[in-house]
A and B are shown apart, each in its own frame.
Chain A
Amino acid sequence: MSEFLETTADKFTFRVAMGRSYSPEGVWVQPETAHRVRVGLTDFLQQRSGDLAFLSVKSPGTRLQAGDELAELETVKVNLAVHTPVGGTILEVNKALDLTPEVVNKDPYGEGWLAVIETASWEVDRAKLLDAHAYLSVMQSQVEQEIRNR
C-alpha cells in the first residue's frame, strides 16, 4: 500500500500522507505517543500558498487551545495564519525553518514539520479531524473551487 494518496489537477499533483489526521484547513497531525503529536502543513496548503519567505511558530511552552494561532507564514503570494487543530502545550518547534523555511515547500510531511505538541485532550480533538481519505476528498473539493475561481 502506498505511503501517500494523491490527486492531480491541471499541472499540479497534491499528496496526502497516510497514517495522519487532518484539519480541513490543511494542517496534518501525527501522533507520536499517547499524549504527543507532531504537526505540519499539507502538501496542498504549501503549494496553494506558494514559496515560503518567512515562517514564525509560537515558542515552546506556549499553551494553545484547538483553533488558536500556531504559526504565521509569509509566502510569495500570501500572509497566512496557521491554526492548531489540537490543544496543548508546544514542546518543540522546528528551528531549521528559521533559516530555511523553504523546507516546508520541499518536504511538507517530513523535514518541514512545524511543531511537537503535548496534547491536552487528544481524543476529543482527534474526533474532529479527518483521516487521509476524508481529507483527500475535502482537498479535491478545494482544488476544484480554486480552479473555478481562476
Chain B
Amino acid sequence: MTGDTTQVVVIPCSGIGKTYGTVSREAAYDLCEDLRPEGTMLVAVAKLVMGEEQARERIRTCPVVTIDGCKLMCASKLVTLSGGRVAHEVAVLDVYRRHKELKPEGIEELNEGGRKLARVLAEEVAGVVDEIRRTGAPSGGPHA
C-alpha cells in the first residue's frame, strides 16, 4: 500500500479537429479540474512531443493514465516513448460502445451526447485513479 498520496498523471489525446479527441480532452478536464483535482495532474501530450523535461520527469515518476481518441493511441505511445509507464489506458471509442445513446458530435463544442460521454468517461477513470492511489496500480493492469 502506498497510502493516498500518489499523484496520477492524466494525458489525453491531442486530436485537435476530431470529435473523439475533443471528448478525450473534455473528460480529462472533468477529471482533473472537477472530479479528482487533488489526486491528478493534467499533462498535455504536446509537451511530450516537444520533449519538455518537466513533463518527462512527471511521467517517469508518477503513474500515468492515458485517454486516447482513436486507435493510433498517440498519448499512450508517447508516454512509453518518453520513458514513462502507462498504468491504465482508455479509448473513447470503447466507452462509447458501452453507451450507444451518447453519440458525440461537434469539434469546437461538443453536443450534449458528447459532453455526457466525456463525463461518463471521466467518472470511470476517476475510479481507476482512486485505485491507483490506494494500491499503486489498477486491478486490470496496464491495458485494462
Contacts and interface: CB of A to CB of B under 8 A. Distances in A.
Interface stretch (B4-12, B32-40, B78-86, B93-101): B93-101
B100 A102 contact: no
B5 to A, nearest CB: 37
Given A76-B19, A76-B20, A53 B97 contact: yes
A105 interface: yes
B93 A51 contact: yes
Nearest to B70: A51
A102 B97 CA distance: 11
A122 interface: no
B68 to A, nearest CB: 11
Chain B CB count within 10 A is highest, among A76, A101, A102, A105, for: A76
A76 B70 CA distance: 8
B143 interface: no
Main secondary structure of the interface of B (DSSP, over half): helix
Nearest to B91: A51
Interface in B3-31: 18-20
Chain B residues touching A, range: under 10
Interface in A33-57: 51, 53-54
Contacts of B18: 76
Interface in A50-98: 51, 53-54, 76
Interface string B49-87: 000000000000000000000110000000000000000
Given A76-B19, A76-B20, A54 B70 contact: no
A54 B19 contact: no
Contacts of A101: 97
A53 B93 contact: yes
Given A51-B70, A102-B71, A76 B100 contact: no
Given A76-B19, A76-B20, A76-B93, A54 B71 contact: no
Residue of A51, A101, A102 contacting most chain B CB atoms (<10 Å): A51
A53 B102 CA distance: 12
Contacts of B20: 76
A105 B71 contact: yes
B100 A51 contact: no
A54 B103 CA distance: 11
A102 B100 CA distance: 15
B26 to A, nearest CB: 16
Interface of B: 18-20, 70-71, 93, 96-97, 100
Given A53-B100, A76-B18, 10 more contacts: A51-B71, A51-B93, A53-B96, A54-B97, A54-B100, A76-B19, A76-B70, A76-B93, A101-B97, A102-B71
6 contacts: A53-B97, A54-B97, A76-B19, A76-B20, A102-B71, A102-B93
